[in-house]
Amino acid sequence: MCGICGYIGVNGAATKSVIEALHDLEHRGYDSAGLSRVCEGKVETYKISIEEKPDFTASDLADTIPDFHKPCKMALGHNRWRTFGGINKINTHPHYDNDRLFYLVHNGNVENLKDVEKEIGIWKRYSETDTEAIVNLIAKYYKQGSSFSEAVKRTINFIDGANVIVVFKADEPEYFISANKGGPIILAKGKDFSLLVSDPAPLEKFNITSKAPLESGNIAVVDASGWKVESSRNDNESKKRKKKNSKNNYKHFMLKEIMEQAETFANAFRGRLIHEAGTAKLGGLESLSAVKNVSGMNFSREIRRINRFHFVACGTAYNAGLYAKLLLNRFGIQAEVHIANEFCYSHPVFDPRDAFILISQSGETADTIEVMNEIKIKGNVYLGILNVPDSRIWRETDAGIGIRAGTERGVASTKAFTSQLACIVLLAVFLARQRNMTIDTGQKILFELEKLPTKIEESLKSTRKISAIARKYLEYDNFYFLGRYFNLITAMEGSLKFKEISYKHSEAYPLGEMKHGPLALIDQNFPSFVIIPDDSVFNKSLVNVYEIKGREGKVIALTNKSKEKELKKQVDDLIIFPETLDFLSPILSVVPLQLLAYYTSIAKGINPDKPRNLAKTVTVS
């Protein structure tokens, strides 16, 4: 949560650069945004919040800055996703201490705020944020005689929780300091400037010559020529193109990313199919090399002896994990799936020979990182199915599979989901071919996988129809999303997308479970989206459709062309998606539901790229 950036350069382009970076960090927080810059030795701070301008962008923040092009060497910027305190300009970062000597931006939560406030002693608050306490603690340590960097180290060590801070001192604007205790930070350098960002998204806009993550436990002193990294744990010093992320012609990132899926899906398997052997080549897993030992066995050679695979994830990635479990089970491989934030409390049972697979688009989700840290202690192998190279999970997992979906900016994940499913199919085929799957079956799956990008394109052609359905059902407030077996996953992901960007109540249920309770809610005001393709459970599902229709429930069925005639008279509306193997069907059936969520959001006048209360990368647990 929260996007932070800092720029220092002899070229004087700090203001413009920070505004550009904030544009690309909007997905990390959009409650408010702020910038502090130092020009000719004077600090100026500008802020904007949705309270005064709903749906503001970084350009609106830029508009509040008089003399925008005045040469300024340094600036810090922040996009806020609120935790402590309401949405207003006062709570917007950067924050400063009582003497206005230090200016600071922050990502994280101070979990021992009361202790921090006590440690500061007497001070005057102007905001409700934990950030203001951090900057005042730095000031207190500085006044006590610590150097600026010592004061930052003492502060980051005093505060509890996952936190990243960036701070400058008004009377020494030749550098700023960043401290990382459990969050994402990337340092980057160009010819005459240094840049710090909490997410790689803005980097493409700058001419970067080198970059490095600032690891948790370190602080960096950053000036125009680069940075010096030190450990914050003790005082010993230790060493350590310009393609824009634009929306192209789309109004929203979410729609752009939905429409990109044929291409991103194909990217996920390109170069990874070995047709002659009916298996997949997963270079990331090969890189496990000979070093990792699982109960005395060499993992890379003995991956087939892994007892069971545990998928761990949150949100949409968790739905991909559910798919992974079903698919591995389908191929006779033991698999479990865990919601990351439940994992540490719920006493999961596993064997030392079990492997964990963390699925995460961002690779920075705090809940998933917590599980990773736990698994490290247990000593099991842990792998990743990840999108963002150099993200925390990417760097720390033993090995993994990159989904290659490219930057995803929509808060509601779409293209990452279908790419995650693509990689899960590759993984499942790879593992199953090591076990009981025949070459023939492996080849058939790979063959079909290659046809899916064209079929996704076909699904994407239904925008007009789906937009009409979104408008038709706009008056209803409650919806079911129902499916069986593999398409229960589509129902879950469809329902998640729908609620997060349309703010309508939706629940996903296994279709056959309706009669055990949920059917009680069905009446003419409670429509159901039912995913009912032409597969082995079609007839069973049809009975459930009758049950809903028999209680005056409205049914919008998602099915294949071959069942169109049969269903037409039974249901209120039909959405057709292309046929494929039953276990690949969610890859195609989810696309119309992503579009449905998008168009419902648009019809309600909501900006789907900025759903209320949510952030794309959740770096607090």
- Give the nearer residue to ligand G6P in terms of CB position, either 187 or 412: 412
Q: Tell me whether residue 32 or residue 360 sits nearer to ligand G6P (CB atom).
A: 360
Q: Is the dihedral of CA 294, 299, 303, 304 positive or negative?
A: negative
Q: Nearer Cβ to ligand G6P, position 365 or 544? A: 365
* Residue with token string 């002896």: 305
The nearest distance, CB 342 to ligand G6P, in angstroms, is 14
Please, which residue, 15 or 600, has the CB nearer to ligand G6P? 600
Closest distance of CB 2 from ligand G6P, Å:
14
Which amino acid is present at 302?
E
**CB burial readout 450-474, b (16+ within 10 A) else e:** eebbebbbebbebbeebbebbeebe
Q: Rg for the chain (alpha carbons), in Å? A: 26
Interacting residue ranges for ligand G6P, rule: CB under 6 A: 314-317, 360-362, 365, 368, 411-413, 614, 616-618
CB of 456 to ligand G6P, least distance (A): 20
Nearer to ligand G6P, 361 or 506 (CB): 361
Active site residue 89: no
What gap in Å lies between CA 418 and CA 403, rounded to an integer?
Answer: 9
Type of residue at 567: L
- Secondary element (H or E) of residue 280: strand 279-280
User: Are residues 278 and 442 in contact, defined by beta-carbon separation less than 8 angstroms?
Assistant: yes
Can you tell me the distance from the alpha carbon of 519 to that of 125, in angstroms, rounded to the nearest whole number?
53
Assess whether 2 carries a catalytic annotation.
yes
SS (H, E, C) 115-127: HHHHHHCCCCCCC
Asked whether the bond before 510 is cis by omega within 30 degrees of 0, the reply is no
Burial of 552 from C-beta contacts in 10 A (0-12 / 13-18 / 19+): exposed
Q: Which is nearer to ligand G6P, 232 or 413 (CB)?
A: 413
Q: Which of 73, 181, 563, 616 is catalytic?
A: 616
What length is written for the chain?
A: 621
How many helices (H) and strands (E) the chain has is answered by 20, 27
* Closest residue to bound ligand G6P by CB: 315
Tell me which of 2, 72, 314, 423 is the catalytic residue: 2
Minimal distance in Å, beta carbon 411 to ligand G6P?
5
* Distance of closest approach, residue 614 Cβ to ligand G6P, in angstroms: 5
User: Least distance from C-beta 58 to ligand G6P, angstroms?
Assistant: 20
The DSSP secondary-structure symbol of 292 reads -
415-434 and 585-603 helices cross at what angle (nearest 10)? 170
Catalytic residue IDs? 2, 616
